[in-house]
Chain A
Amino acid sequence: AQSVAQPEDQVNVAEGNPLTVKCTYSVSGNPYLFWYVQYPNRGLQFLLKYITGDNLVKGSYGFEAEFNKSQTSFHLKKPSALVSDSALYFCAVTRGSAGNMLTFGGGTRLMVKP
């Protein structure tokens, strides 16, 4: 079975400060990892993915994430938060090339205050 944990229900940061949204996963075999963002009453938008290669992946809107195999983590980061980054963020995992299903974490609400 595969699972994702997002330990923080909400993260609060001030605009201009760096932000981190945490994600840990459990999966057999090589993980394929994804981050999504959701704005109110909208579908999820893809931000970035880790499949293989460099542990630091860069995605949309200045976000990046670091894959750490030993800690089974894939934390989302941004050097300087914007108020417009306030949204719900989801981490997801699937099992390598054999995975048809993505398993999502429970989501973390990011609040960026001016």
Chain B
Amino acid sequence: SQTIHQWPATLVQPVGSPLSLECTVEGTSNPNLYWYRQAAGRGLQLLFYSVGIGQISSEVPQNLSASRPQDRQFILSSKKLLLSDSGFYLCAWRGSYNSPLHFGNGTRLTVT
């Protein structure tokens, strides 16, 4: 069966520090991969998605970036965090076009 791993679960970082969140998927190949951010326990904002290695689409311009160095690995990064980057970050994968998104357990990021 397929599983998705996301870490760390929680992170507290000072303003201006770098960020690296990692997500890996097991049990499937060539998944579509996604990074979402959820603010204040409500709506989901799509940040990035990827349909293949090295292929990244950005939905919202900001100081975050994403990379997909391997088929089942998706990394969210920042060179310098802002206070507004605080939130709950969710990684997700999807197989075929009629299949649902499957989410990881999320990373709670607090920028202080």
Please give the residue numbers on chain A whose beta carbons come within 8 Å of chain B beta carbons, in ascending order: 32, 34, 36, 40-46, 49, 51, 88, 90, 92, 96-107
Contact = CB atoms under 8 A, between A and B. Distances in A.
Interface in B77-92: 88, 90, 92
Interface of B is mostly: strand
B51 A51 contact: no
Interface stretch (B11-19, B41-49, B61-69): B41-49
A46 B46 contact: no
Contact of A43 (B41, B97, B106): B106
Contacts of A105: 43
B103 to A, nearest CB: 3
Interface in B1-19: 6
Nearest to A97: B97
Task: Give chain A's interface secondary structure class.
Answer: mixed
Contact of A100 (B43, B49, B90, B103): B49
A66 B102 CA distance: 22
Given A34-B101, A96-B97, A105-B43, 13 more contacts: A36-B101, A41-B108, A43-B6, A43-B104, A44-B103, A46-B100, A49-B100, A88-B41, A88-B42, A100-B49, A100-B51, A101-B34, A104-B43
13 contacts: A32-B97, A43-B103, A43-B104, A43-B106, A44-B90, A44-B92, A44-B101, A44-B103, A97-B97, A98-B97, A101-B49, A106-B43, A107-B43
Contact of B105 (A43, A90, A102): A43
Contacts of A98: 97
A46 B101 contact: yes
